[in-house]
Structures are given as C-alpha cells and as structure tokens.
C-alpha cells in the first residue's frame, strides 16, 4: 500500500482530530483572526466555498474552515480540491513532493457486538460516531487536469449591488421589516428586523447582516427547529450566534460577497466554548451547513419555477 493511500484511509483518533482542529481555530481567534472571515482581498485569493473538482460537490461543516485556512496560508487561487486517486481518475496527477491538506469525514457505525446486544434485547442498536481524516490536494498542486477546472471569480466590490443576493433573500419568503437601529430575528412573530438600507456602510454590509439573521430564521420549529429560547449572554446564546455567523459566511462565499464579522463581541464567548468543548466548532459548522443548504434550496426552487424560453413558447 502506498504512503499516499495510507494517508487517505488511515485514521487518527477521533479525539486527536477534534483537538487538532479546535486548537488551530482557538489559536487564530486568540490572535484576533476570525477563521470564517478571511482577508480575501488582501490575500488575492478567490472567494467561494471549497468543493471537489471531481464530483463538483461543495464541502461542508468543519472542512470549509480547514480548506479556507489552507487556501489563505498557502496562497492558492482556487477553491477546488482532489484526493490523490480523484486526480488520477480525471486524467491528471498530484505533482511529486506536494503536501496535501487533511480534512475530516464524520459518520456513525454499529459495532457487531452492539448489533448482537440489540437483537437479543429487542431494542434499537446504538450507533457509534467516528471521525476519520483523509488527504486532499488543491488543483494547483496537480498537473494534467482538464481545462475546465479554473479558479473562482474574485470577490465583488463592497459597493456593488448583488442581484444573486437580492434574489436569494426574496426567494426565502422570510418577512423582512426595515426600520430601527438594530438587526434581529423575532422568533415569536417570525420576522427579521433590519435597519434601513441607507444606514449600512455598503451593500455587502447589508447582505452579511441579512444573511446572518436568515441563519437565525432557519431555527424556527417549522424549519430546522433549533432551540432559540436562550438567555442573552449565556453559552447557548453564544453558540446560536456562532451558527448564524458561520451561515452568513458560507452564504456570502456562495454569493461571491466578502464575509464580515457581525458580532465580534462574542469572540471571548466563542473562545471559552471551544476551549471547554473540542466538538463545539464541529457542531456549529455542521448546523451552519444545514442552514446554508436550507436557504439555498429556495433559490433552486425559484429557478425551477421560472419557465425557459422554449417552455414560454
């Protein structure tokens, strides 16, 4: 078995992976760098969510932060990634000597003994979660790949109106009320309050705020059903703010808008949460990916409902 294959299929312990990723994020937060709000413009790196160049599927959860970190640190212009075998499968190969990036695969399995216990007891078996690492390479570390694999477009200027963002926000059908000096989601009456557009410093600032509140909006019982009944300043409240922050960042990347920190005053709370629970950032990114997919599904539904020119005839 080759060393590369061993890297892909080998598994560091679940605990060490949780700790390794969390320690890296804690370190960045402690020096004032928010991992999901990268210096995209100053770095010259293309914005976007990382995805597989082979399957065209976007990565989700903690892998978004891991791969964004790798793109910024190593100066890649592309957000496209491949495993060693995937590069070979599409006609290319990883250049000799290139160092890959370890990402995580999470799933659950039922051990044989637990299956037997459940069968004898007549109840449902308990699945055991596991986390495994495998290695991916940026397409810029590869040679001989098809020409259609290119870098994503550069981020839109903050002064620009985004038709895609406007369309997505409208497609959700969320009730948005303008006015006042604060932005918030009212869970009881299920609406989003935003200050008037002209009070925002830029369209990007408005979109980041609106998408953050849409992140909270997905928590409603009729949607993703996250618990929002937390006391302001509590750990649970800060965790929900983290989910909304990440949701906004992920959606901004989809829409080619530079993410922003909406609630920097929670960084100390997030640091405490992450230091106490190595799995917290994994849960938050997972919930944010689910919220992101939930919101983006409205855009896909809307596009499917718009008749093509041929159908209109």
State which residues form the domain around 75: 3-143
Whether the CA torsion 159, 162, 166, 171 is positive or negative: it is negative
Asked whether residue 224 falls in the same domain as residue 170, the answer is yes
Q: Residue 290: what pLDDT?
A: 97
**The total number of structural domains that make up the chain:** 2
Q: Are 266 and 195 within one domain?
A: yes
Same domain, 174 and 300: yes
Residue 47 in domain:
yes
Are 104 and 170 found together in one domain? no
- pLDDT at site 17: 80
Buried b (16+ CB within 10 A) or exposed e, 282-308: bebbbbbbbbbebbbebbeeeeeeeee
Q: Where is the domain boundary, 143, 173, 199?
A: 143
Query: Do 130 and 206 sit in the same domain of this protein?
Result: no
* 148 in any annotated domain: no
Does residue 101 sit in the same domain as residue 200?
A: no
Same domain, 202 and 290: yes
153 located within any domain: no
Instruction: Say if residue 183 is in the same domain as residue 115.
Output: no
Is 74 found in the same domain as 37?
A: yes
Q: Which of 266, 255, 237 is nearest to 292 (CA)?
A: 255
Give a yes or no: residue 176 inside a domain: yes
Claim to verify: residue 126 and residue 173 sit in the same structural domain = no
pLDDT in tens, the chain (313 residues): 333 433 443 444 555 788 988 999 999 999 888 888 876 766 667 788 999 999 999 999 999 999 999 998 898 888 999 999 999 999 999 999 999 999 998 778 888 898 889 899 888 888 887 788 899 999 999 999 998 776 555 565 666 889 999 999 999 999 999 998 899 999 999 999 999 999 999 999 999 999 999 999 999 999 999 998 887 778 899 999 999 999 999 999 999 898 888 767 788 899 999 999 999 999 999 999 999 999 999 987 765 565 544 443 3
């Amino acid at each position: 078995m080759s060393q590369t294959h061993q890297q892909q299929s080998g598994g560091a312990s679940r605990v060490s992976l949780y700790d390794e990723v969390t320690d890296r994020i804690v370190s960045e937060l402690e020096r004032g760098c928010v991992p999901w709000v990268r210096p995209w413009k100053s770095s010259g790196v293309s914005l976007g969510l990382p995805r597989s160049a082979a399957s065209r599927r976007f990565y989700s959860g903690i892998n978004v932060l891991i791969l964004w970190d790798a793109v910024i640190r190593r100066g890649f212009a592309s957000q496209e990634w491949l495993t060693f075998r995937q590069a070979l499968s599409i006609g290319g190969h990883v250049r000799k000597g290139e160092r890959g990036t370890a990402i995580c695969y999470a799933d659950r399995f039922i051990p044989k003994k637990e299956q037997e216990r459940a069968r004898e007891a007549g109840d449902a078996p308990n699945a055991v979660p596991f986390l495994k690492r495998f290695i991916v390479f940026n397409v810029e570390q590869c040679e001989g790949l098809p020409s259609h694999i290119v870098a994503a477009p550069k981020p839109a200027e903050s002064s620009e109106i985004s038709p895609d963002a406007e369309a997505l926000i409208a497609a959700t059908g969320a009730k948005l009320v303008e006015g006042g000096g604060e932005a918030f989601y009212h869970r009881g009456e299920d609406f989003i309050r935003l200050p008037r557009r002209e009070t925002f410093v830029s369209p990007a600032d408005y979109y980041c705020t609106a998408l953050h509140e849409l992140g909270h909006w997905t928590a409603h019982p009729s949607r993703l059903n996250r618990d929002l009944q937390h006391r302001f300043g509590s750990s649970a409240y800060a965790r929900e703010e983290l989910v909304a922050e990440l949701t906004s960042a992920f959606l901004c990347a989809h829409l080619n808008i530079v993410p922003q920190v909406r609630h920097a005053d929670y960084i100390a709370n997030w640091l405490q949460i992450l230091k106490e629970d190595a799995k917290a950032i994994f849960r938050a990114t997972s919930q944010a990916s689910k919220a992101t997919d939930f919101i983006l599904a409205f855009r896909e539904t809307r596009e499917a409902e718009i008749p093509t020119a041929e159908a209109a005839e």
